[in-house]
Amino acid sequence: MIELPDLAVGGLAAGTLSALALGGGLLRSRRQRARQRTEITALRAQIDGLIQAFTAEVEHLAERRVPAAARQLAHPHVVVPGPLQPQTTGTHMGTALDGVLSGLRAELLAQRTRVDAAAQAGLRGATREIQAALYRLQDALRGLQQRYDDPELAQTLFQLDHENEQSLRRAQVTAVVCGAWVGLAREESHLVDAVTGGQARLAGYHRVKVHNHLETGTALVSHAVEPVAIIVAELLDNALRHSAPDTEVVVGLEHVHHGVCVTIDDAGLGMTQDERARAQRLVAGSDPILLTELGDPPRMGLAAIGRLTRQFDLGVDVSSPSPYGGVRAVLRVDSHLLSRLDPAEKPPAASAPRTTRRAVPEDRGASSASAHGYGSEQDDPGAPAAPGHHDPGDNGGLPQRRRRSRVAVQEAPEPARPARRPEEAAAALGALQSGTAAARAAAAERDTGGHTDGHTDGWPADTEPTDHEGGAAR
């Protein structure tokens, strides 16, 4: 039998072992809890850092990135800042923040387009009423001009009519920018008439010098006449506004491979590279036009040009500097928008600058004449119906009818007025066409000789080679 002391010793030993085991477990538990508390503290610190970083990113998004993205819609040069923490790029949070900007841009653009369309519709309706009133006023002023012959009153009515024309131009441009039609339907017209018509709508029209190098009879199809006049008027208006009042604006009309170009050069301040790029975007007409992007007050000239170039398949370029230091604007009218009018049946306006092109003499052969756009005598551009005109075979093979029409337009606007004497007409035309000493000497000799060989077309035979030589020297 086991004695009591032995049992007591065994119990004490077992209790001691149990206490030691329990104490070890307690120590391990405490150490584990300490480690967990440390990990929890670290996790809390990490979470707090992430929360702070996310809060900073959201604040950066609200304070910097969202306003910049909104401004960028109106000003493309504005740069939208990136995330505050570059390491967030490509992460879920970075993608979510970029999605916020994308959604904001899309919604802002949709709302701006909707609001701008409503504004354009309201402005288009108001402009239509203004245009109608200005057209009525224009008709009344021109009726008064025809009714009264007093010079002072006629001058006053002319000034009022010109002021009304400028107001009508601004209303028309506003309507075009807002999506309205050009407002006028015209017949086929000489291209030079469309250019001078646009020039006449401006306050500084006297500063514009037009050099016409087109073949006589070059015209525009009916639906392109008014758009070309509007575009020329707006390009000239920009040139006049941004150049000194004592300088000229030079306009050149030239044939090119695919049609005709109207080149406008001014001697103004020019444009910076950014301004030129923006102007080119506007006149190209490829981007949608919003009234809010045109400034305050809105400058609608280039925007109207962009509308018309897109609608009527015209081309405008303002990306080149002018040789005079300002801006060069080029309007290109392609061949499908060009037509041809018989100057004998429908001559250009008397105020339109006459062409500097010379007809090809017939003695060079029909093929040479055709190559320059002049066929038979019936097709001779610039040939008005002159009474008593004989067959061109009797006048030395020179395009007499063309030159005679130019003198008649300049000196005798009334059809019934008798023609000038041959010596006077030849001397005047030679002076206009040539400034060389040889032409002046030949004109002096012609004036002293003063004979004719019986030509009934009004040109002495001995004056024709001199006149032709003067034109060639020019």
Q: Rounded to an integer, what distance in angstroms lies between the CA atom of residue 112 and that of residue 96?
A: 24
Pairwise CA distance, residues 464 & 446, whole Å = 10
Torsion angle in degrees (nearest 10) through CA of 126, 205, 255, 309: -20
The pLDDT value recorded for residue 2 is 54
Amino acid identity of 396?
G
Give me the CATH topology for the region 186-357: Heat Shock Protein 90 (3.30.565)
Q: Please report the pLDDT score of residue 359 as a whole number.
A: 57
> DSSP labels for 372-441?
TT--SGGG-TT----TT---GGGTTTS-HHHHHHHHHHHH--STTSPPPPHHHHHHHHHHHH--SHHHHH
**Strand arrangement, sheet containing 338-340:** 189-190, 218-220, 338-340
pLDDT at 264: 95
Question: Looking at residue 348, what DSSP letter applies?
Answer: P
pTM for the model: 0.61
Q: Please report the pLDDT score of residue 442 as a whole number.
A: 47
What pLDDT sits at residue 209?
93
Distance separating alpha carbons of residues 353 and 155, to the nearest angstrom? 23
User: What pLDDT sits at residue 367?
Assistant: 37
| Domain boundaries, given as residue ranges, for the chain | 186-357, 358-473
Strand locations in 232-287 (E) = 249-256, 259-265
**What integer pLDDT is reported at residue 190 of this predicted model?**
93
Looking at residue 291, what is its pLDDT?
85
* pLDDT of 31: 83
Residue 309 and residue 303: Cα distance in Å, rounded? Answer: 10
What is d(CA 103, CA 340) in angstroms, rounded to the nearest whole number? 54
Residues of the chain with pLDDT under 70: 1-4, 183-185, 359-474
DSSP conformation class of 207: G
Going by their DSSP bridges, the two strands 249-256 and 208-212 should be labelled as parallel
Distances (CA, A) of 355 to 193, 233, 420: 12, 21, 21
Residues linked to residue 315 through DSSP beta bridges, in sequence order:
332
Dist CA 280 CA 309 (whole Å): 12
Q: Are 127 and 175 in contact (CB under 8 A)?
A: yes
